[in-house]
Structure 1
Amino acid sequence: MTQPKNCNKIVRWGFIGAAQIARKNWKAVRMSGNGVVAAVASRDVSRAEAFIHDCSMEVPPVVVGGDGEATLARPVAIGDYQALIDRDDIDAVYIALPTGVRKQWVIAAAKAGKHVLCEKPIAVHADDAMEMVDACQAAGVGFMDGVMFDHSARLPAMKHSLGDSQRFGKLRRIQSHFSFCADDSFEAGNIRADADLEPHGCLGDLGWYCIRLSLWAADDRMPVSVSGRAISKYDGGSVPSEFQAELQFDNDLTAGFFCSFRCVNQQTATLTGERGYLTMDDFVLPYVDAEAKWQCHMHDLQIDNCRWNFGRHTAQHAVWEHASGEADSQEVHMVRDFAESILSGAPSARASEIAIKTQRVLDALRRSDVEHGKWVTLA
C-alpha cells in the first residue's frame, strides 16, 4: 500500500532495528494519534518482515486521514538502514540499534533531514554523543533519547510534592536502584554483555535511568564530581554487570545509585529532604495499574523519658496514568511529545541537552571506575 502524504498532521516513522523494545514503541506510535510506522529496517529483510507481522497481529498500524477515516497502513520491510533513511515518506527515525553502531546511523539520518529518537545510552562516549547532536542541530532536526519516564505525568506532580517546604524541606539525598537477575545464558548470548556492542553494560542499560532521575531531581544541574566502581564485569572484565555510583552536586546535595544484572527486579528511588522523604518502587517501568503512584513520608520520633515512639506518617499520592500501552502511558507521551515538536517545527532543546548531560555523567563514572573509584570532576 502506498504510504499517505504528510499533511502536517502525522509523523511518518521509520524504525531502524527490530529490538524487543521497538515492539513497545510500535504500539506507542499507534496510540499517539499523531504518528504512523511507515517502514522497518533490519540487516535481514526477513527479520523486518517478521517484526512487522508480529506487531501488526497485536497492534494493526493505522493512519487517520483528514476526513477522519482510519486506513490500514502496513509498513514496508527493508533490508538496508540507509535505504530506509533515504525514503521520502519518512519524517523521523527511531533507532534501536546497539550503542556501538548507533553513531553512524544517527548522523546519516540527520544529514537526510530525519528527526531522531534514539535508544539509550546514546553513544560510546560523550564526544560521539556531541557529534550526533551537533549533526541534528546543523540539519535543523530534533534529537531525543528514549527515556520514557521523562514524559510521565508523575514527574511534574512529584516536583510539586518536593516543593512543599513545610513537609519536605530542602532536598539533600537522591538514592536509586535498578536491577534484574539475568539467567545463565546472558553473558554468552546477550548483546548487553558484549564490549563491542554495549560497552557500558548495566551502567548504560540500567544506570542511565538512575543518572537521569538524579539530574531531574537536581533540576537538570550537573554534578560537581562523581565516583563509581564496577563491582563485577563481563567480557574479560570490560563490561560492567554491577555498578555503584556516587554523585556530588552543589548546594549540599548528593546522589547514589546501584544497578545490576545479578539482582532481582527492583526499580526503587528515594528522595530525601530535611523534613520528609519521597519514595517510588517502580520509577522506570510502572506497575500494571491505571495510576502512577508515589509516597511521601514525614515520620516522627517522640521521646518522653522512658517512652520512645516512632510514628509512621505516610501519604499516598497518584496521577491517573496507565502503566503501558494506552493513550496516557509514558511511552506514548514520549512518542507524541516528540512528534508534536516535529509538527510544530520547534524540536525540544531540553531533549538533546539532557541526553548529553546524562552521557557526560556516564563517561565520568567510567573514568572513575578505571581509576578505582577516584572522584572525577565535571567542568
Structure 2
Amino acid sequence: MAEGLIQIGVVGCADIARKVSRAISLAPNAALCGVASRSLEKASAFAAANNLPLSAKVYGSYEALLEDPDVDAVYMPLPTTLHLHWALLAAQNKKHLLLEKPVALHVAQFDRILEACQSNGLQFMDNTMWVHNPRTAAMAQFLNDAHRFGNLKSVRTCFTFAADPAYLKNDIRVKADLDALGSLGDQGWYCIRAILLAANYELPKTVLASYEPVLNKDGVILDCGASLYWQDGRVATFHCSFLANLTMDITAIGTRGTLHVHDFVIPYHEKEASFLAGTQTSFDDLVTGWAKQPEKHTVHTDLPQEALLVREFARLVGEIKFKNSKPDNKWPTISRKTQLVLDAVKASIQRGFQPVQIHH
C-alpha cells in the first residue's frame, strides 16, 4: 500500500462509478483500494471491466467495504434514496465521504449526514466535477472583477439532454423509489450550482418554479425550471430536462460584462475548456455588426476535472489524516446551499407554483 496515498473505496457499481474509478487512479494523491456491490460477482465484474488495480479488493456487500480498516474514504454513487442510510454507516465507520449528487432527498436528510461527518471529524464533499475544472476558477475571477464584469444583474443556466426510451423507462433517475428528484436532482443541481457560483454563493430570497413541469406516471420530474430572486434585484432562471437536445449553458450578465459558457458540466474536450467573456461590448457605428465582441478564454489542464475533484478531496482528507487538521467546511456549505435551492424549487411546484422563501 503506497505511503501517503489516500485509500478510496467505491460503494456501488453505478455507471458513473466507471468514470470516478478512473479519476481516482489518475489523481496523484489517491489510490483505488476496493469496490463493493451487493453481490461479489457484480463487484468482480466491475473490477475486471474497469481495469481496477490488482491490489484493489472486491467486496460482496457495502458493509464489508465500510468496515475495512484499510479504507480511508469512500465514493458513494448510490441512488439518492439510499444516501442517508449508507452515509451514516460510512461516518460511523470513520470513512471520509465523497457523495454523489443530489446529496439527499431534502436538506433535513443532508443535515443528518453532515452532522454525522462533522461529529466524527470527517471530510465531506459532493461529486460536482465541473467546479474543480481550472476554467471554473477563471470564470469566477472574471465574475468577481468589478472592472471587467461589474455587478451581477442576471444569470440563465440550462442543462438538458434527450434521453432515449430505455432511459425514460428504466434509469434510476426516473424511479420514484430511487431518485425521486428526477431531472431536478440530476441536472437542476448543476444549474443551481452555476447560478450560486455567479451570485458568489449568496442564497436567493425567493424561488418560483416555472409553469408547468413534465412529470412521468410516477410523479418524477422529467423537465422543469425556476426563477430565483435576490433582495437587491438580481434574478436567475434555469431549465433542466431529459426531453430536449444536449445543452449545458451559462449566461451571466453584469453591469459591465457578460459571460457565456456552452459546455459547463462536461467540457467539449477533456483537457481544455473555454468561455466567452465580454466587457462593455458594443455595436459598430452603423449598427451592422459588433465593434467590440466577447473574447474567448481557453484554459488547459493536465488532469480531467473529475481527477482534479478527487485530488482536492484526497488533499483535504490527507490534511486530516497526516496533519491532524479539521475538516474543511467550504464544500459541505456549498452542497447545503445547492440543496436548499433545489428543495425550494420542489416546494414551489408542490404548492402550485407559489413563491417559496428560502430560510437558511
TM over 0.5: yes
Bigger shift: residues 289-298 or 345-354: 289-298
Please, which of 352, 356, 370 is the counterpart of residue 350 of structure 2? Answer: 370
| Counterpart for residue 214 of structure 2 | 232
Q: Percent identity?
A: 34
Please, which of 82, 86, 89 is the counterpart of residue 108 of structure 1? Answer: 89
Deviations, residues 99-133 of structure 1 (Å, cap 9, x unaligned): 01111010100011100000000111111000001
The question of 1:300 aligning with 2:297 is answered: no
The question of 1:176 aligning with 2:119 is answered: no
| Counterpart for residue 351 of structure 1 | 331
Which consecutive aligned stretches of 4+ in structure 1 deviate over 6 angstroms post-superposition? none
Counterparts of 1:121 and 1:360 in 2: how far apart (Å)?
11
Contact 1:299 1:310 in 2 (8 A): no
Deviations, residues 140-176 of structure 1 (Å, cap 9, x unaligned): 0011100001211112211222234344221111111
Counterparts of 1:125 and 1:27 in 2: how far apart (Å)?
30
Please, which of 313, 323, 328 is the counterpart of residue 303 of structure 2? Answer: 328
Please, which of 191, 197, 209 is the counterpart of residue 172 of structure 2? Answer: 191
Letter in 1 for 2:138: A
1:208 Cα deviation from its structure 2 partner: 0.2
| Counterpart for residue 116 of structure 2 | 135
Counterparts of 1:223 and 1:373 in 2: how far apart (Å)?
17
RMSD: 1.5
TM-score by length of 2: 0.94
**What is the SS of the residue equivalent to 1:185?**
helix
| Counterpart for residue 256 of structure 2 | 275
1:212 Cα deviation from its structure 2 partner: 0.6
Unaligned stretches of 5+ in structure 2?
none
Letter in 2 for 1:13: I
| Counterpart for residue 317 of structure 2 | 342
Q: Output aligned runs, 1:45-84, within 5 Å.
A: 45-56=40-51, 60-61=52-53, 73-84=54-65
1:289 Cα deviation from its structure 2 partner: 5.1
1:318 Cα deviation from its structure 2 partner: 1.5
Please, which of 7, 10, 21 is the counterpart of residue 12 of structure 1? Answer: 7
| Counterpart for residue 269 of structure 2 | 288
1:357 Cα deviation from its structure 2 partner: 1.1
Q: How many residues align?
A: 351
TM-score by length of 1: 0.89
Counterparts of 2:169 and 2:68 in 1: how far apart (Å)?
37
Deviations, residues 238-276 of structure 1 (Å, cap 9, x unaligned): 210001111112332111100000001101110111232
Contact 1:194 1:235 in 2 (8 A): no
1:193 Cα deviation from its structure 2 partner: 0.6
Contact 1:177 1:210 in 2 (8 A): yes
**What is the SS of the residue equivalent to 1:131?**
helix
The question of 1:119 aligning with 2:100 is answered: yes
**What is the SS of the residue equivalent to 2:227?**
strand
Contact 1:244 1:259 in 2 (8 A): yes
Deviations, residues 328-349 of structure 1 (Å, cap 9, x unaligned): 2211111011111111114321
1:302 Cα deviation from its structure 2 partner: 5.7
Deviations, residues 287-324 of structure 1 (Å, cap 9, x unaligned): 12532100013431467xxx444415121111112xxx
1:36 Cα deviation from its structure 2 partner: 1.1
| Counterpart for residue 311 of structure 1 | 290
| Counterpart for residue 23 of structure 2 | 28
Q: Relative to 1, partners in 2 of residues 1:273 and 1:37: Cα closer, same or farther, differing over 3 Å?
A: same
Contact 2:34 2:59 in 1 (8 A): yes
